[in-house]
Structure 1
Amino acid sequence: MNEPHERASRDALADVATRAVRAGGDYLAGEFRNGRVDGEYGSDDVKAVADHEAESRVLAVIREAYPEHALHGEESGRVGESRYEWVVDPLDGTNNFASGLPSFATAVAVLRDGDPVVSAIYEPLPDTLYVARDGAGATVDGRPLATGSDVALGNGTVSFVVGLPAVRDEALAARADTIETALDGRCKRVLNTWSPCVDWGLVARGSLEGIVCFHPDVYEQHAGELLAREAGVVSASREGLYVGAGDAETRDELLAVVDGV
C-alpha cells in the first residue's frame, strides 16, 4: 500500500475512532451528571454498569465501520482475528466516576500488526478530544499538539501510573510504592489520579513534566503512548516500565530515579 493510501487509511480510522470515543464519552457524561452509579466495588477496582454500557456504544460505532476488524474491549475481551485490532477502554477512571470525581475518559487505539497507528482519547466533561496518527502528529480539539515544559523536574509534577497487574501482585506493589517514594523525593508532586488517559493528555500538552508507568494496562497504554509520541514526548521503555517527558534531560532524570530504587 503506497503512502497516500496509508495516509487516507489513517484519516478514516481516526474519524471512526473519534466518533467511537464520543459515543462512549457522551453517555458517561449523562450518567455522571445523573449521579447514579451501579456497580461492584472491590478492594482495588470498581466495575460499574456504565463501563459495559459505554463499551457497547463504542464497539457499535467500530463494528458498523469495520466489521472485519478485531476488537479488544476491557469489558468484553478479544473478538475476531485481523491485522487491525481496536483496543478499547470505555471508562478510564471508573473509581473516579463512581466517587463523583470529574476525572475520566474514553479511549480507543487502533493497532495494525500489533503497533498503534491511531488513537483517540475523549474527556467528556470538559469536552476535550485528543487524536493521534502514527507519523502524522497529534491534535487536541483539532489544534496541533506539541509537548514541552520549562519547569525543572525539582519544581514539577510527574504522573505515576500503576497498572492492575502490579496492584494485584504483592512484590510488584511493594516495588511500586518504593518508586513512588523515590519520585516524590525528586519532584514537587507525584500525581496518581487513577485515570491515566487524563494524565497522558496533560503530558502531551506539556502541563506535566513527565509520566512513569509501572506495569500499565494495555487499554490505556496503547492510546496514551501514541498520543505522547506524536506530541513529541521523549520516552524509554523496558519490561513493565515506561518513562516519558517533554525532553531527553528530564526523561533521563526520571530514569535515574527509577534505576536508583
Structure 2
Amino acid sequence: MAHQENIPFTPSGKSFTAVAINTAAKAGEWIKSKLGSHTTLSLKYSPQDLVTEVDKGSETMIRKLILTHFPTHSILGEEGVEPGPEASAKALTEMSGAEYLWIVDPIDGTTNFVHGFPFYTVSIALAYKGEVIVGVVYDPSRDELFVAEKGKGAYLRGKPMKVSGEAKLTDSLLATGFPADREGALPLNMAGLQHLAPKVRNVRIAGSAALHLAYVAAGRLSGFWEIGLNSWDTAAGALLVQESGGQVTDMEGNPYSLSIRDIAASNGTIQQDLLQELKAAATIGS
C-alpha cells in the first residue's frame, strides 16, 4: 500500500462508498443523540443479547437512505432477522443470490450503548455477488469513520490505515468477545481466552466485534478472534483488516466469507500462531 500513503481518500457523488459513509454517519449521529434516553429494552437470543427501539430506528433509517439511492439492491440487517444462529444462516442463504447485498448492523455493541459505555458502532458493508467490496464502520462516540474499498485500501479520517507490526504473540495485544450464545459459543471462546491470555501481552474485551476489527485494521490491536458471530458483525470489519494489510480467516485458516461464524483476524504476521493456539485451546476444551 506504500504507493497510496500520500493519496487522500475522497469518495464523490452517489458512489457505493459515498452512500455507505453518509448513511453510517447519519445513523451514528442519531444513535448518539439517543444515548441515555432509550425507552424500551428487550431480550433477543439470550439475556445478554439486547435490542432497543434505537437499534430498530437506526436500521430503518439506514434502509431508507440506501434504498433512496439504490432501490433495486437487497439489504440484510440484524433487526430484520429472527434471533439465533440458525435464523442468521438461513437469512444469509436466502439472500445469497442478490447481486448487490448491503449487510447492516445498526448498533454493534447494543449492551454498551444501553449502559452508556462508549464502544458501539454502525457497521455497513456492501457485497457484490457474495464478495464484500465496501466496508464502513462508524464510531459516533469518537467520531471515527473507518472506510475500506476492495482493492483500494482502508482509511481512517481520510488517511491510509496499516495493521500493527508485532511479529510474536508475546508482544501482541488481542481482543475477543463474550458471545450471546451462552450454551455453545461462550464456553469455546472462554477456552480460547484462558489458553491465550498467558501467551500474549494482554487481551481486551470491549463488546463490539466490528469495532475490534476496525482496531486491528488501524494497528491498535494485533489480532481478534471470536466464536459465533454473524455476517453483519464481521462483513465491514473484515474488509477493513484485509485492505489494511492484515488477514482474516475462519479457525481452520480458510479465507473469510460471509458465511463464516468463527473468525480470527490479525496483522497477518501472527495469524498462524494465533490459529495454532486457538486449535490447541479447542482440543483442550473439548
TM-score if structure 1 supplies the norm length? 0.87
Match of 1:175 in 2: 188
**In 2, distance between residues paired with 1:109 and 1:98?**
24
- Match of 1:106, SS state, is strand
Q: 1:26 aligns with which of 19, 25, 29?
A: 29
CA contact under 8 A between 1:73 and 1:87: conserved in structure 2? yes
Which amino acid is the alignment partner of residue 189 of structure 2?
A: A
- Match of 1:111, SS state, is strand
Instruction: Report deviation, 1:254.
Output: 0.9
Q: CA RMSD in A?
A: 2.3
- Match of 2:48, SS state, is coil
**In 1, distance between residues paired with 2:120 and 2:248?**
24
Which amino acid is the alignment partner of residue 16 of structure 1?
A: V
Question: Structure 1's 86 and 171: CA in aligned 2 closer, same or farther, altered over 3 A?
Answer: closer
Match of 2:112 in 1: 96
Q: 2:218 aligns with which of 205, 215, 226?
A: 205
Q: Which has the higher strand share?
A: 1
Residues 88-237 of structure 1 aligned to structure 2 (within 5 Å): 88-150=104-166, 152-164=168-180, 167-168=181-182, 170-237=183-250
CA contact under 8 A between 1:68 and 1:82: conserved in structure 2? no
- Match of 1:15, SS state, is helix
Question: Once the two structures are superposed, what CA deviation does each residue of 1:62-109 show, in whole Å capped at 9, x if it has no partner?
Answer: 010000000111112469873001111010110000001011110101
Poorly superposed stretches of 4+, deviation over 6 Å: 8-11, 78-81
Size of the aligned set, in residue pairs, is 248
Q: 1:61 aligns with which of 56, 59, 65?
A: 65
Instruction: Report deviation, 1:41.
Output: 4.4
Question: Once the two structures are superposed, what CA deviation does each residue of 1:17-72 show, in whole Å capped at 9, x if it has no partner?
Answer: 0111011101011111xx21223243121111110111111111101000000011
**In 2, distance between residues paired with 1:152 and 1:191?**
17
**In 2, distance between residues paired with 1:9 and 1:19?**
11
Question: Structure 1's 30 and 182: CA in aligned 2 closer, same or farther, altered over 3 A?
Answer: same
- Match of 2:203, SS state, is strand
Match of 1:45 in 2: 49
Instruction: Report deviation, 1:190.
Output: 1.8
Identity over aligned residues, as a percent?
24
* Structure 1 unaligned spans of 5+: 1-7
Match of 2:87 in 1: none
Question: Structure 1's 183 and 73: CA in aligned 2 closer, same or farther, altered over 3 A?
Answer: same
- Asked if 1:242 is matched to 2:263, the reply is yes
Match of 1:85 in 2: 101
**In 2, distance between residues paired with 1:253 and 1:139?**
27
Instruction: Report deviation, 1:152.
Output: 4.3
Which amino acid is the alignment partner of residue 66 of structure 1?
A: F
Instruction: Report deviation, 1:198.
Output: 1.6
- Match of 1:216, SS state, is coil
Q: Which has the higher helix share?
A: 1
**In 2, distance between residues paired with 1:49 and 1:247?**
38
- Asked if 1:16 is matched to 2:32, the reply is no
More displaced 10-residue stretch of structure 1: 72-81 or 129-138: 72-81
**In 2, distance between residues paired with 1:129 and 1:9?**
16
Question: Structure 1's 111 and 100: CA in aligned 2 closer, same or farther, altered over 3 A?
Answer: same
Instruction: Report deviation, 1:162.
Output: 5.0
**In 2, distance between residues paired with 1:130 and 1:156?**
22
**In 2, distance between residues paired with 1:45 and 1:256?**
30
More displaced 10-residue stretch of structure 1: 99-108 or 188-197: 188-197
Instruction: Report deviation, 1:181.
Output: 0.8
Which amino acid is the alignment partner of residue 36 of structure 1?
A: S
Question: Structure 1's 20 and 95: CA in aligned 2 closer, same or farther, altered over 3 A?
Answer: same
